[in-house]
Amino acid sequence: MKPDSPFYAHTLKALRQSELFGRLDEAVIQEMLLSFQRETWPKKSIVMQPEQTTRRFYVVISGRAKMTRVNPDTGREFTIFLLGAGDGFDVVSLLDGKKHNVSVTAMDDIEVLTAPFDTIHEWIERHPSFNRGFLPYIGKLIRQLTSLASDLALLDTGTRLAKLLLRHTTQGSPHPRLRLINDLSHEELAGMIGSVRVVVSRYLQGLKKEGIVVARRGQLEVNRLQALVERIEKHPGFKDK
């Protein structure tokens, strides 16, 4: 991507704010941006399928995407990662070069940057500073996956839902605010906690009746943050982020 591109400025800004590139020297980050190619994908389009995992690395600039795996027998879809601005995929294939059985789907109209694996590998070798941002990012991924698996194994669905909401809640002044997932359908939410639409609906009804959340179609807000925390701690649960 060249500096005279109309998208250059805000793309660079997105990179600067990302975990993966944020700590790099301005010169380095600009050099890297030069090797990236910009793409846009419309909402609901499939950005990457298992067969394509071994070619290029992607970084989300704006919009959301989900990395999923599907059970072909039941048709059920499980969302492994929700990818937002600054997130890269597919890290696994980048690390070991092998095909990875996951798909990535755009949840909004999205902008991404992309570069061949070789380029990224070069950066890793040549720029220790890149590695210093890359490794903690991988650490975060493993942390997330570990929690995801543990929660599935040890917690009931209601608690997993509550944790999902809590994880995406930021302290907003009057009311706490839900980032990233406030406008997702129950179907999507279910996919993120390894459950099913009907069940999520049921639990959300419960939370609504207790006044913990306020919801209307495609709009979800947390009203009583404290009560949500208690819901998690009381029921079979353990604290961990």
Cis peptide leading into residue 109 (ω within 30°): no
Q: Identify the residue among 48, 91, 104, 112 touching a second copy (CB under 8 A).
A: 91
The bridge status of strand 213-216 relative to strand 56-62 is: unpaired
Q: By CB under 7 A, tell whether 205 contacts DNA.
A: yes
Question: What is the closest distance, in whole angstroms, from the C-beta atom of residue 75 to DNA in the complex?
Answer: 8
Question: What is the closest distance, in whole angstroms, from the C-beta atom of residue 170 to DNA in the complex?
Answer: 21
Q: Identify the residue among 54, 144, 201, 223 touching DNA (CB under 7 A).
A: 201
CB closer to a second copy, 90 vs 111? 90
Q: Hey, what amino acid is at 11?
A: T
Q: Identify the residue among 158, 176, 191, 237 touching DNA (CB under 7 A).
A: 158
Q: By CB under 8 A, tell whether 142 contacts a second copy.
A: yes
Q: Please report, for residues 21, 60, 102, 141, the alpha-carbon distance to residue 87 in angstroms, rounded to integers and kept in the order given.
A: 10, 6, 16, 10
Question: What is the closest distance, in whole angstroms, from the C-beta atom of residue 83 to a second copy in the complex?
Answer: 14
Task: Please report, as ranges, the residues that interact with DNA according to CB under 7 A.
Answer: 74, 76, 156-158, 185-187, 194-199, 201-202, 204-205, 208, 215-218
